Structure 1
Amino acid sequence: MGRQTARIAAIAYHLPTATLDNDALAQIFPEWPAQKITDKTGIVRRHIAAADETAGDLAFHAAISLFTSNDIELHAIDFLILCTQTPDYLLPTTACVLQNRLGLPTSCGALDINLGCSGYIYGLALAKGLIEAGIRKNVLLLTADTYSKLINPRDRSVRTLFGDGASATLIAAKDGPSALGPFVLGTDGAGAANLIVPAGGMRLPHSAASAVETEDAAGNVRSHDQLFMDGAEIMQFTLCSVPRVMRELLDAAGKTLDDIDHVIFHQANQFMLEALRKKIKIPAEKFIVELDTVGNTVSSTIPIAIARARASGRIRSGDTALLLGFGVGYSWAGTLATLP
C-alpha cells in the first residue's frame, strides 16, 4: 500500500432562494441600465440571503446536498473546515455549530478560517495537509458568505457584483500519487484597506459614529459598518499578481498550460476575468467562467464554477484544472487538481 494522499472526491453547492436581477438594480441606479451592468460585470442576477438566513444556514444546505447526491456517510467525516467572513457568531466558531447540526461525530475536528476570494484554495491546502500527514482521512470543506448583509443598498460599486452562496467539498484520502497540488500561497497585507469592513471588530467596534453614512465622489453610499472596495486598486493588484502566481504554480508542478484541461480563477467579474485571460494568453476553450446567474460568491466561486461546468458537461471526471483565488487580504492561492 502506498502513502496516503489527497483527492477532491465530490463537490456540491447551495444558493439562497431570493434573487436580485439587473432590472431591479437599474431602478435603484438609473444611470446604469440593466444591460450596462451585464456588460460590465458579466452578471445578470445574484442570489441574496434572507434577513434571517446566515452563512451557517447556507453551508448546512450545501453539505446536505453533498451528502445526499454522493451517498456520503456522516460517520466517515473526521474534520470540518468552514471558510467564511460572515460567521453566525463572533464565538463559538460556526464550524462547531455545524458539526452538531449536521450530525457529524464528536470525534470530528472543526474550525473556521476567515478568508475570502482565495479561501477555497487555502481550505484545500489545509485539508491536504491533514490527510497527507496521516491526521485525518475525510475532510469536509465548506465555504459560505453573505456579503449582501455587509453592503449598503446604495453602494453600486459592490452591490452589482456580490451574491450569497455556499459550497461543500469532500477531500478524501487515497493511495498513490496525490491528485491535489502543488500549492502556491501568498499574502500582502499592505492592501488590506482596499477591501475591508472597517468597523465591527475589536479595532473599531460598532458605534453610532461607525453607522453614519457618507457618499463618495462616485455617488456610492456606505458607512464604516459596511463593505468598502477600491476597485481600481483591486484590479491593479490582480493584473500584477495572478500571472506571476500562475507561472510559479506551473513551474512548481513542472507543467505548461498545454498540460491543463481547465483554468478556473476566482469568479470576480467578467471584465477582470477577460483581462486576465488575454494578458496570460489562456485559450478561451480552457477558461471557465460561471458567474452570470450567481455573481461573485467570494469563497464559493471556484467550487460553484466547477460544479456548474460539470453539470453542463464542459468538465468531465478526471480532468485536470488549475485553480487560482485572489483578493481580500490581499491574499492569493493556486493549486492543480484532478476533478471529481
Structure 2
Amino acid sequence: MKTVFRKKKITGILGVLPGTETRFEDEVFNYNFPEKQTMRLKKIMGFEKHRVVKNTTASSDLCVSGLNYLLRENLINKNEIGAIIVVTTTPDHFIPHVSNIIHGECYLNNDVICIDISQGCAGFLHGLMQSFMLLEHLGDKKVILFNVDTLSKKVSKKDRNSYPLIGDAAGVTVVENDSHAKDMYFNMYNDGSRREALIIHAGGSRLPSSSETAVVRDTDHDGNLRSLDNLKMDGSEVFTFVQTEVPPLIEETLKFADQDKDQIDWFLFHQPNKFMLKKLAEKLEVPYEKVPMNIVENFGNPSGASIPIGIVHNLGPLMVDNKYNCCLSAFGSGLTWGAMTIELGEMSFCEMLISDY
C-alpha cells in the first residue's frame, strides 16, 4: 500500500516506562548456557538493561498513567480528544478493549471514539495510518495514539533468544489536523506466509492456554526454555527478513516521496537490537549518527512503542524547538514492514515519564 497523508501533524509524544529496571548481568544465570558465552551477547547485541512491569501491571496501566499525566499538566484537554487508538499485542483482557478501559479510567467524553488494533513491531505506523484517516472526520478534535506492550509477561525468563531484549513501555502520541503540515508519504507491506517467525502459539482460540501449554520445554532444541504460552522468535529468519526487505522498502519510499537519503535528518526505526540496526544502516549506506540505535541497551525492545520511545529518548527537547525531515520504518511480527517520510518537530511536548508500574 502506498499513499500520501496531507495536513496532519504529530504535536506531542510522551514515553511511559515501568519503574523496574533490570541489568543483563543479573539475569545471566537464568539461561541454560555458560556465563561466558551469554556475556558475549552483551557487546554484540547491545544488551545492557531493560524495563519490565510488575506482575500486577496491565497494559492499560501504562496508558492511563500517561494520559492522566498529560491531563494533569494541561498538555491536553479532555474536550480536545476526538478518538483514542490503542495498538497492542498484550491487551488486559479479550473483552473489554484497552481503549475502553482507558476511556473509563480517565473519564473521557462519551463521543470519543475508542479503537483497539492488534499489531506488534509495526504498530506505530499502523496506529498513525488509522489516526490520519480518523482525523478526516474529527475536525478540530485530536487523536491520542497509544502504542503499548507488556511482552515481558509473555516471554520465558529462560529464553536467552528473546528475554534479554524484551522491554515494556507505552508511547502516547497526539495527532491532529494542521493545514500547514507537509505531505507524508506512506508505504506498507505484509507477508503472512512468514507469520511463524514471531509467534505465541497458545492463548487464543486456536489453542487456548491450559496446564499443558504452560509446560516449559526446550522447544527449539537450542537450550532456550519456553512453553507454548511464550513468545517464540526465529532470530535468524527475522534478521534475514529485515536485511532483505527493509532496505528496498526505504529506497522505494524515498523515491515515492521524491527525496534522497541526504535530505533525511533522522532515520527513526523500530529497535530490534543494535547489531541488526548497524547492519541495516550499512546496507542503506547511511551514517550511524542518523540512525538512533540505543533503545534496547537502555530499555529493551518495546515492540510497537519503540519508535516513539526512541524519539523521546534521543531527541526529546530538540523536537520542541526544531523541525526535522525524518524517515520512519517499522518491521517485524506479521511479517509486516513499512516506512514513511514525515516532518517532525515544533511539538508541544516530547518527554519521558517513569511510572509507578
- Over 3 Å counting, the alpha-carbon distance change for 1:121 and 1:66 in structure 2 is farther
**Aligned position for 2:215:** 212
CA shift, 1:319, in A, is 0.9
- Preserved contact between residue 86 and residue 116 of structure 2 (Cα < 8 Å): yes
**Aligned position for 2:340:** 335
Runs (4+) of structure 1 exceeding 6 A deviation are: none
TM-score normalised to structure 1 length? 0.94
> More deviation in 51-60 or 305-314?
305-314
Q: Is 1:187 the equivalent of 2:174? A: no
- Over 3 Å counting, the alpha-carbon distance change for 1:67 and 1:318 in structure 2 is farther
- Over 3 Å counting, the alpha-carbon distance change for 1:206 and 1:309 in structure 2 is same
Question: Unaligned regions of 5+ residues in structure 2, if any?
Answer: 346-357
- Over 3 Å counting, the alpha-carbon distance change for 1:312 and 1:269 in structure 2 is farther
- Preserved contact between residue 194 and residue 234 of structure 1 (Cα < 8 Å): yes
CA shift, 1:37, in A, is 3.2
**Which one of the candidate residues 275, 279, 285 is aligned to 2:279?**
275
Per-residue CA deviation, residues 80-135 of structure 1 (Å, 9 max, x unaligned), is 00011000010111101101212221111011101011000111111111223556
- Preserved contact between residue 269 and residue 329 of structure 2 (Cα < 8 Å): yes
SS in 1 for 2:299: coil
Per-residue CA deviation, residues 281-325 of structure 1 (Å, 9 max, x unaligned), is 112221122312111000110000001112375995311210100
Q: Is 1:299 the equivalent of 2:304? A: yes
Instruction: Quote the Cα distance in structure 2 between the aligned partners of 1:106 and 1:236.
Output: 46
CA shift, 1:335, in A, is 1.2
Instruction: Quote the Cα distance in structure 1 between the aligned partners of 2:135 and 2:311.
Output: 22
Instruction: Quote the Cα distance in structure 1 between the aligned partners of 2:78 and 2:233.
Output: 39
Q: How many residues matched? A: 337
TM-score normalised to structure 2 length? 0.89
CA shift, 1:43, in A, is 2.7
**Which one of the candidate residues 100, 117, 122 is aligned to 1:118?**
122
Aligned-pair identity in percent equals: 29
- Over 3 Å counting, the alpha-carbon distance change for 1:312 and 1:134 in structure 2 is closer
> More deviation in 323-332 or 302-311?
302-311
- Preserved contact between residue 278 and residue 288 of structure 2 (Cα < 8 Å): no
Which amino acid letter does the alignment assign opposite residue 271 of structure 2? Q
**Which one of the candidate residues 7, 10, 17 is aligned to 1:8?**
10
- Preserved contact between residue 28 and residue 39 of structure 2 (Cα < 8 Å): no
Instruction: Quote the Cα distance in structure 1 between the aligned partners of 2:194 and 2:35.
Output: 29
**Aligned position for 1:21:** 23
Question: Unaligned regions of 5+ residues in structure 1, if any?
Answer: none
**Which one of the candidate residues 239, 246, 254 is aligned to 1:242?**
246
- Preserved contact between residue 139 and residue 177 of structure 2 (Cα < 8 Å): no
- Over 3 Å counting, the alpha-carbon distance change for 1:330 and 1:195 in structure 2 is same
- Over 3 Å counting, the alpha-carbon distance change for 1:136 and 1:108 in structure 2 is farther
